[in-house]
A and B are shown apart, each in its own frame.
Chain A
């Protein structure tokens, strides 16, 4: 219970232990009252409402041109219309399926390869520079080739998402496997465990946190792959919607696509969050006692 907090707004000299009571900062009564799920939610909703209201007002007052930035009322009209005619649901569904398929295939292949490299230090060392080299290419630059190889349909979007996610997964899994505690491995070896057994009992569980952490990054990359694939050539999908609308200067429709994408990404992120809590219960314990700074 010494000095509990040193917040950034205090000068470094303020940490002098001579006056702990003065430097100790507790959240005020207002902060404590608001800091509940409901309180935070209300503030967040309020912030969104203020943002859209000021946008609408700015367009109405003529400070912003609807032609160039769109307007919340127009976005809403486009949204309702495209939900009613079914096109938005179809576009969203298509993009989500492309992204999820790409995510799953890329992540599974990449993680498996990365973990597999643990088996042979020699192979890992030989392959490492190639992985680094391939990874240093902005993978979006592969998009034209992917379209050439896999056509302009559904498969090419999935393939693009795979190409974006697989290497990220590989590197994350390989690094995590390499960092797995050698003492835990030695312990199992001393118990007479085989290499496969050590892989299953130490390498896989100890890399899981890093692999699941990588899921968060990869779900975003998979969406990028799907949307960019649709930009290049497509008949449907959110990327198609955005690209088409922007070439027609239909900014409201562009925003509908963007907001739906944002929502989809947000949702998928939380699905992974949920999965993480189920898969890694041992990481959830004991955060309540940590000191608030």
Chain B
């Protein structure tokens, strides 16, 4: 909390990011000069109308796509992308079906070249911490959706990434499991002091989890607005019961031009 109050250090700055994809009728611009900052230990949600290029932003940050124009600075240094520094999590759990839970969780450590014994040790610790001990040797196929996504979260956290990039990680889960995993995520982010960038179409989730919400406009996307979310209780259920929750929710709905008649002002 104190880190937030005084001097918000910029961890990642995006400036003038442009990206177009080639198609039959010429290049289709997707990102049109995107500017925003992500602070240290921030929790930023990126929301926007569907198809606006949220996932493209995500892929640019992850270093999977090269922007046509623009720069990214990580702690002041210009970087091409954050490949190897980010933890990446998607709606699909992306567990490797041929690896056991333990081997899946170890994946990132393996890529970093960590010694196998040490990696196994760490992986077991993490599994125990997140309540998956006993499932080390199970194949993902045998686990429930919630457990698989939990394993995916552990796999993301174990690499100790600078930034967690989450692309609608919980949207395929039922509501209860989702609330539970949101709590697990918030707890883990607090414990390990992580920065999170969450791409979502779910305004409810964005408000409940984030410290800030970046709203993108229609394609080609620019930043339409950035909202600070100041809820006292940031537990998934607590946040949703906060009186200001619906206020934020409505504001963001308005930003996205969602026609619900709720806000006919």
Query: Which residue numbers of A lie inside 8 Å of B, CB to CB?
Result: 181, 183-184, 186-193, 197, 201-202, 205-206, 208, 280-283, 285-286
**Known A186-B88, A190-B88, A191-B108; further 4 A-B contacts with Cβ < 8 A:** A191-B88, A192-B112, A208-B98, A282-B97
Asked if A205 and B83 make an inter-chain contact with CB atoms under 8 angstroms apart, the answer reads no
Kindly list chain B residues whose C-beta atoms are within 8 Å of the C-beta of A205.
96, 98
Asked if B142 and A285 make an inter-chain contact with CB atoms under 8 angstroms apart, the answer reads yes
Chain B contact patch, size range: 20 to 34
How far apart are the CA atoms of A282 and B96 in the complex, in Å? 10
What distance in Å separates the Cβ of A285 from its nearest Cβ neighbour in chain B? 5
The answer to whether B221 has its CB under 8 Å from any CB of chain A is: no
Chain A residue nearest to B97 (CB atoms) is A282
The answer to whether B84 has its CB under 8 Å from any CB of chain A is: yes
Kindly list chain B residues whose C-beta atoms are within 8 Å of the C-beta of A192.
83-85, 111-112
A190, A197, A283: the one within 8 Å of B86 (CB): A190
Asked if B141 and A191 make an inter-chain contact with CB atoms under 8 angstroms apart, the answer reads no
What distance in Å separates the Cβ of A276 from its nearest Cβ neighbour in chain B? 13
Kindly list chain A residues whose C-beta atoms are within 8 Å of the C-beta of B84.
190-192
B97, B111, B142, B165: the one within 8 Å of A193 (CB): B111
How far apart are the CA atoms of A271 and B142 in the complex, in Å? 27
Asked if A190 and B83 make an inter-chain contact with CB atoms under 8 angstroms apart, the answer reads yes
Kindly list chain B residues whose C-beta atoms are within 8 Å of the C-beta of A283.
97
Chain B residue nearest to A184 (CB atoms) is B94
Kindly list chain A residues whose C-beta atoms are within 8 Å of the C-beta of B107.
188, 191, 201
- Residue of A191, A206, A283 most packed against chain B (CB within 10 A): A191
Asked if B90 and A285 make an inter-chain contact with CB atoms under 8 angstroms apart, the answer reads no
How far apart are the CA atoms of A202 and B104 in the complex, in Å? 12
A197, A201, A286: the one within 8 Å of B141 (CB): A286
Asked if B139 and A189 make an inter-chain contact with CB atoms under 8 angstroms apart, the answer reads no
Kindly list chain A residues whose C-beta atoms are within 8 Å of the C-beta of B63.
189-190
Chain A residue nearest to B88 (CB atoms) is A190
The answer to whether B3 has its CB under 8 Å from any CB of chain A is: no
What distance in Å separates the Cβ of A177 from its nearest Cβ neighbour in chain B? 15
Asked if B90 and A183 make an inter-chain contact with CB atoms under 8 angstroms apart, the answer reads yes
Within 8 A of A (CB), among B151-169: 159, 165
What's the A-B contact tally at a CB cutoff of 8 Å? 62
How far apart are the CA atoms of A285 and B159 in the complex, in Å? 29
- Residue of A186, A188, A190 most packed against chain B (CB within 10 A): A190
Q: List 24 A-B contacts (CB under 8 A).
A: A184-B94, A186-B88, A190-B63, A190-B83, A190-B165, A191-B83, A191-B88, A191-B107, A191-B108, A191-B111, A191-B112, A192-B83, A192-B85, A192-B111, A197-B111, A201-B96, A205-B98, A208-B98, A280-B98, A282-B98, A285-B141, A285-B142, A286-B141, A286-B142
How far apart are the CA atoms of A286 and B138 in the complex, in Å? 11
What distance in Å separates the Cβ of A87 from its nearest Cβ neighbour in chain B? 46
The answer to whether B219 has its CB under 8 Å from any CB of chain A is: no
Within 8 A of A (CB), among B58-107: 59, 62-64, 83-86, 88, 90, 92, 94, 96-99, 107
Asked if A183 and B111 make an inter-chain contact with CB atoms under 8 angstroms apart, the answer reads no
Kindly list chain B residues whose C-beta atoms are within 8 Å of the C-beta of A202.
96
How far apart are the CA atoms of A282 and B107 in the complex, in Å? 17
Kindly list chain B residues whose C-beta atoms are within 8 Å of the C-beta of A187.
88, 90, 94
How far apart are the CA atoms of A182 and B94 in the complex, in Å? 10
Kindly list chain A residues whose C-beta atoms are within 8 Å of the C-beta of B83.
189-192
Within 8 A of A (CB), among B105-152: 107-108, 111-112, 139, 141-142
Asked if B94 and A190 make an inter-chain contact with CB atoms under 8 angstroms apart, the answer reads no
Kindly list chain A residues whose C-beta atoms are within 8 Å of the C-beta of B99.
282
How far apart are the CA atoms of A193 and B88 in the complex, in Å? 13
Kindly list chain A residues whose C-beta atoms are within 8 Å of the C-beta of B86.
190
How far apart are the CA atoms of A281 and B83 in the complex, in Å? 32
3 A-B pairs with least C-beta separation: A192-B84, A190-B88, A191-B111
Chain B residue nearest to A193 (CB atoms) is B111
Asked if A190 and B139 make an inter-chain contact with CB atoms under 8 angstroms apart, the answer reads no
Chain B residue nearest to A289 (CB atoms) is B142
Kindly list chain B residues whose C-beta atoms are within 8 Å of the C-beta of A201.
96, 107
How far apart are the CA atoms of A102 and B125 in the complex, in Å? 49
Chain B residue nearest to A209 (CB atoms) is B98
Kindly list chain A residues whose C-beta atoms are within 8 Å of the C-beta of B94.
181, 183-184, 187
Asked if A190 and B62 make an inter-chain contact with CB atoms under 8 angstroms apart, the answer reads yes
How far apart are the CA atoms of A86 and B90 in the complex, in Å? 64
Asked if A188 and B111 make an inter-chain contact with CB atoms under 8 angstroms apart, the answer reads yes
B64, B85, B159: the one within 8 Å of A189 (CB): B64
Chain A residue nearest to B89 (CB atoms) is A187
What distance in Å separates the Cβ of B57 from its nearest Cβ neighbour in chain A? 14
What distance in Å separates the Cβ of A162 from its nearest Cβ neighbour in chain B? 29
How far apart are the CA atoms of A189 and B98 in the complex, in Å? 19
How far apart are the CA atoms of A286 and B97 in the complex, in Å? 13
What distance in Å separates the Cβ of B85 from its nearest Cβ neighbour in chain A? 8
How far apart are the CA atoms of A281 and B139 in the complex, in Å? 9
Kindly list chain A residues whose C-beta atoms are within 8 Å of the C-beta of B165.
190
Kindly list chain B residues whose C-beta atoms are within 8 Å of the C-beta of A184.
94, 96
Asked if B142 and A186 make an inter-chain contact with CB atoms under 8 angstroms apart, the answer reads no
Chain A residue nearest to B82 (CB atoms) is A190
